[in-house]
Structure 1
């Protein structure tokens, strides 16, 4: 058993915090299905992603969510200091003001607990998450750069004129 995660990913999967795929490869059809459902359930305004994901995947996600890469609603870029700093600053501001909520998500907590911030050697005001050594630490921080990219998307695609309506306002809340 890995002491860094104490087999928590299995527990998180059983609790519904993680999706598990059969075999050793990602099931993109299942991922696309989940994203399509999210597009139906939430008012998604933009998508920012690490360019490692590349455009075939991002184009499909844009299609599923009704967002247009040509309009800047879907963006991909390298997670460099200059790209990560604004989003990380936004996330830190939301945390400090109590407006960042992950609804008790243990995976998010685990990622944020493991992250350290690295400053650019050429400009101490520029920051990005520093990846732990996966082989020795056993930690993952994927939720942190994801939150930073969401912060970037939120700032760049803010439309103070538009009223965002929750899907629950139209359909009501379903409790299982």
Structure 2
């Protein structure tokens, strides 16, 4: 799959599922949730997955989501954490919003 993605000239970024990779974006996600700055548009599936997340902590205090301890699916939250990590590292090329270019369309 990675070869197919690279053939499409898309960048592949390695992201581990361990404590070291997950801690910074997990802490940032926690800040966003507590401050009320996480906007998910009322997405019911994401809210359901968020309710399912169980975080585990290692002896050093690092945290990460644990799929094996979570009741149901949490894949959307894990994807959110991984995407947040890319955003924190500035490795996502920021494109202008379509609304900045053409404005808001009202029907």
TM-score in terms of structure 2 length: 0.80
Q: Give per-residue Cα distances to partners, 1:30-76, cap 9 Å, x unaligned.
A: xxxxxxxxxxxxxxxxxxxxxxxx6235436763xxxxx3xxxx412
Q: List alignment gaps of at least 5 residues for structure 1.
A: 1-53, 64-68
The answer to whether the Cα contact below 8 Å between 1:132 and 1:140 also exists between their aligned partners in 2 is: no
Provide the secondary structure at the position in 2 that maps to 1:111: helix
The answer to whether the Cα contact below 8 Å between 1:84 and 1:145 also exists between their aligned partners in 2 is: no
Alignment root-mean-square deviation, CA: 2.8
- Following superposition, which runs of at least 4 residues in structure 1 exceed 4 angstroms of deviation? none
TM-score in terms of structure 1 length: 0.52
Equivalent residues, number: 107
The match for 2:19 is: 81
Distance 1:109 1:60 in 2: 35
Distance 1:118 1:173 in 2: 42
1:123 to 52, 57, 60: 60
Provide the secondary structure at the position in 1 that maps to 2:31: helix
Larger Rg: 1
Distance 1:90 1:165 in 2: 24
2:98 to 156, 163, 167: 167
The answer to which structure has the higher strand fraction is 1
Distance 1:116 1:57, change over 3 A: farther
Distance 1:62 1:107, change over 3 A: farther
